[in-house]
A and B are shown apart, each in its own frame.
Chain A
């Protein structure tokens, strides 16, 4: 027993009661009531520890900001919080068309998916389509209300002004112009038709920044049919493309990618594929996929076309005209084409009438019409009239123009004679734009009458004859904007209701063409739900060649070639920005160019040899015909040709686009094709590009395993022989994990993947991936969860290009998992390598130990940070965020999750419906977006699943399988068909 010390005599009396210390019970009492004994007990110590830890926790935890979630007062019937609704709609901006599904959560669109019901776009999307949802929330660039002379105004005033201006112009005998691009919407065209009838002074100018009018005109001249035919790459055994980037930007890339890929897939059952020959100056996405790629500068390309025509004419007994000789063996090519009669497709990407006429001749002799080229159901594109704007300028100079309206067109930026247009516009008293977001033309307009974003609009589209689709709003207009067509209807006195108009128009035009539905409302609702509607047309296109057009084309081209200079330039659209109308979309700006891997920039691409010969280096600044651009050395670029991407150099588009790159539309001026470089000089050096890949050589490693069709025909394992060795020798002593339930896997068909990078943007939209800006890309910190590696092989002047999509490989023996000290990354029992963001402390060990380098680190706070002033820095921009995916904090590691939220959603859905999960129930964002179906996701444990079939393909291999990481992602070898 403890020795007791006493203070007073009283204490030792038997009836002694200690004095209470304080009368009121204090919280500290529990801590003090045992301290009467002199030593501190273990319990006291623990109590003190407890209270100090508790207070430390409380103090450190009280900083979290409170965010309020406000419930619906009146709950809308159709919305279940937490469950996404999908609306079928249509994306049709510029030349881009896609039938889409808009995913909305709690009333706001957050993601665009392809509509697989569409026979035209076939469920595919493009990077622009995926990124377009961000434009909806671009509060920095979108116009929020109608503006008259710089002042906010209302729609009634505007309407009255427009009607009186148009009527007054008619009285004064002056002209009014409306500039629109080629419209694929029949209803809009109808509205415009009515407008011109009601207002005789109004003239519509159809003008495209990137025009395909020469294809239409060439068909007019050669076959007396003004059409842009549809091209069926899936029917062609031999595809010859002259500078047509048909998988990237040309005509209908989404459709063409899909069609092209069907003829490129090989399997044990089908060991045949098309052959693709590409003639081009710059290395395009399509060219990088070609079996044989011939880098030629544009003038030589024309030579080859001319000579090819003549060679074929000679072989088929058609009249031969004189043409200069080219250096290419066109004779062999001509006989190759003729050996593939009816199975050849020749396309040309130059918007040059004479070249297109010759291409028509070649296709005609190759008997492509009716086989690989469909003239019966032509594309609804290329309706621009090249003379329209010239006419506008001259009339405006004479003071004859009372008003100009710009609908979806921005000629001050992308018209080649923009300077003349600007001066001419000074003389026009009333200038209106219907731009929904800031642009250069709007700067000069005294009326800004903002159109809705397409996700807030009604509309329809006819991308090709007989194929229709509907556009429906996925949300109410965010700002005080009004759909252009609704405005036009109100000028006609019909009330601003385009919805009813379009419905009536479909009632009269579409409803009678079908016999499935007897009731229009039924028809309308079902079509609206499906998004697409097909009308069978049996227009027969019978081509009869006009040889006069050919001989004329040949002689004109011959003259043009006389002026061809030794150094020429080519402008092209790049896959991310195309014509530049979406330039203020930071996702697209940060999308690495599929070939150069440069982000946030355009540049002058030059061949390595040309650069060496002229002692210029990458990063030098070149001034070409007065336009200064940084130089990028591009393997495969034609010698003597400088390629420049359009779409950059915006000056009034918004914070993400302004002053990024240079405006290559300025190079065009009034030049005739081929475009000569009159003067170029080095005007600086040391420019640094923001590239996401800087090493382009595989260093002899079997990363992309490839082979040729001939070898593949001999053995299905061609190019993949090493796999057997790895499987046999590279194994482990430890038992491998078994997956009893699902075992998720993804297969990538390298033959179907074109490298178009749509998946990158789809993933970015789905998984809330931040944009980090040019400087941080330079620091090699891009956040994309899926990337496309691109390697060059062979000759520097004409390399083979290999694309490889790379996402987290979800290794079943993952090197990242065992090195994390806090187990923040671990393996699920379904084979998924998962990240617990809130457990991650950010040691970055997993990043180092990942052999695929697919892990990403939040180097900064990317959301709500003024230093990263992109979509995540504004309340409105953040509305695009997917509520199913966490926005990651600074300092945590993130990576591809196989869209775990979609897997979960699919499983819950199946469970709710009381059924087993089917193959195809779950599609990750990348797979959903892919226009060519190169990615297949599924359950390996389901023998019926497509992925379980594909993984047995002898072409299947795993990346770096020699280090035995056991990835869940498999690749199918790349097979090319380069046979001469």
Chain B
């Protein structure tokens, strides 16, 4: 067995398999703690607020949002892109670390994937909700009909429909498939009939035999291979929503890679946030070690450099293009104009703040890690805000320039998606092993 500095042991202390199982199932098997109820209450309140906002959007109309004749996409699409970005990390974690044989990631996969599934669910709400007539959402699927109506395959929005639905299906499959052995463990340890039945059903008769494991491993790799291009395609296609348009600030070829990196970046930051919370709450520091956090911080540092470079290149190209509309959007509206506060917030949060991770001390400091991870997610939200609003609010003809202010309904929808995310994650940590026990056991010594 090879041990190297990049293939460090996954489990902090020497533990037997039994100890690992016991420790990792503790969150599921112990009594429901008070904070869980508190969290759930918050989640439910947010959901209720969101429910009201959904109701208003559906029944009264999109007039309840802060959109204008010029800014026809606002918080809806900002939050959509933001959630999609967050929803990137889970699958990326599994796939890329699988491909690069970074087995240390195994202890984070499960949570990251859960995060992905809920984030993509949140994101997926917006494209439906932002329709003027959401009850006709089926129009955007290419189904055969007697009226010979067909969808427009030139439209990036249609590509979105396929990209997101495929990605959501793939993420759920990957997540669910990865947890089958653990669900079987839960089934075996279940004390009451209901959970035994449910876990039994969902573990699909897993028996832990060698042949099952072999098939399982093979399928993991096949699924991983299938999901890898999807990780890239989903956010690239979301970026094409903008890049295919003609608006200054949207119409740039850099957007697909830039969105992809941004997504990984924000997803990893969200993973970091959640991991820090979980490892401290559940005292699983042996499984999510400082080395894990250190590795994520390094990824963030790298992501931040790429993002910063993208910002610089965007500016440069805008100037280099000689198009006055482009120059205005980047140099006036964004850097120095009405959107400069948001713009520099974005630059600070995404390009500058993560540079603190060049210092090992910062990477080891849980507080700094936590704060920076939050800062990045705020920064990434502002990035989407800048891209969307500044380009729409001040485009070609100054006569139609408008401001943009979100309404309570806009905020409510965002809050509602947080409600979905929080309650989803809480249900997940309660009823599903948060760390892939079988993977940890298999890789507890590191490397292979």
Q: Which residues in A have some Cβ–Cβ distance to B below 8 Å?
A: 693-701, 703, 776, 779-782, 787, 789-791, 804, 806, 815, 818-823, 839-845, 847-849, 851-853, 855-861, 889-893, 959-960, 962-963, 965
Contact = CB atoms under 8 A, between A and B. Distances in A.
A841 B131 contact: yes
Nearest to A964: B246
Interface in B389-448: 392, 394-403
Nearest to A782: B69
B103 to A, nearest CB: 42
Given A839-B139, A844-B130, A891-B132, A701 B158 contact: no
The 4 closest A-B pairs by CB, nearest first: A842-B132, A891-B132, A859-B63, A853-B400
Given A851-B396, A859-B63, A819 B133 contact: no
B26 interface: no
A857 B60 contact: no
Q: Which of B69, B133, B150, B398 has the most CB of A within 10 A?
A: B69
Interface in B100-143: 130-134, 136-137, 139-140
B377 to A, nearest CB: 25
A959 to B, nearest CB: 8
A841 B139 contact: yes
24 contacts: A695-B399, A695-B401, A779-B66, A780-B68, A791-B399, A804-B399, A815-B245, A818-B154, A820-B157, A821-B155, A839-B149, A841-B132, A843-B130, A843-B131, A843-B157, A844-B72, A845-B241, A848-B245, A849-B246, A857-B67, A859-B61, A859-B63, A860-B61, A860-B63
B63 A781 contact: yes
Contacts of B68: 779-781
B28 interface: no
Given A818-B155, A859-B63, 10 more contacts: A693-B400, A695-B399, A843-B131, A844-B67, A845-B72, A847-B72, A851-B247, A853-B397, A860-B60, A960-B396
A821 B152 contact: yes
Contacts of A821: 140, 151-152, 155, 157-158, 161
B72 A819 contact: no
A154 B377 CA distance: 75
B60 to A, nearest CB: 7
A890 B131 contact: no
A859 B60 CA distance: 9
A860 B60 CA distance: 7
B395 A842 contact: no
Interface in B17-71: 60-63, 66-70
B324 interface: yes
B157 A842 contact: no
B69 A848 contact: no
B136 to A, nearest CB: 5
Nearest to A788: B399
A471 B82 CA distance: 64
Contact of A841 (B137, B150, B154): B137
B156 interface: yes
Given A891-B133, A892-B133, A842 B62 contact: yes
Contacts of B216: none
B62 A853 contact: no
B156 to A, nearest CB: 7
Nearest to B400: A853
Contacts of A701: 324-325, 396-398
Q: Which of A841, A856, A890 has the most CB of B within 10 A?
A: A841
B133 A848 contact: no
B357 interface: no
A893 B131 CA distance: 11
Contacts of B149: 822-823, 839
A822 B136 CA distance: 11
Nearest to B161: A821
Contacts of A963: 246, 396
A813 to B, nearest CB: 10
A847 B245 CA distance: 11
Q: Which of B131, B150, B403 has the most CB of A within 10 A?
A: B131
B328 interface: yes
A815 B246 contact: yes
Contacts of A893: 132
B73 interface: yes
Contacts of B356: none
B254 interface: no
B398 A822 contact: no
A776 B65 CA distance: 12
Contact of B155 (A695, A820, A842, A859): A820
Nearest to B138: A841
B244 interface: yes
Nearest to B136: A841
Contacts of B131: 841-843, 891
A946 to B, nearest CB: 27
Q: Which of A791, A820, A822 has the most CB of B within 10 A?
A: A822
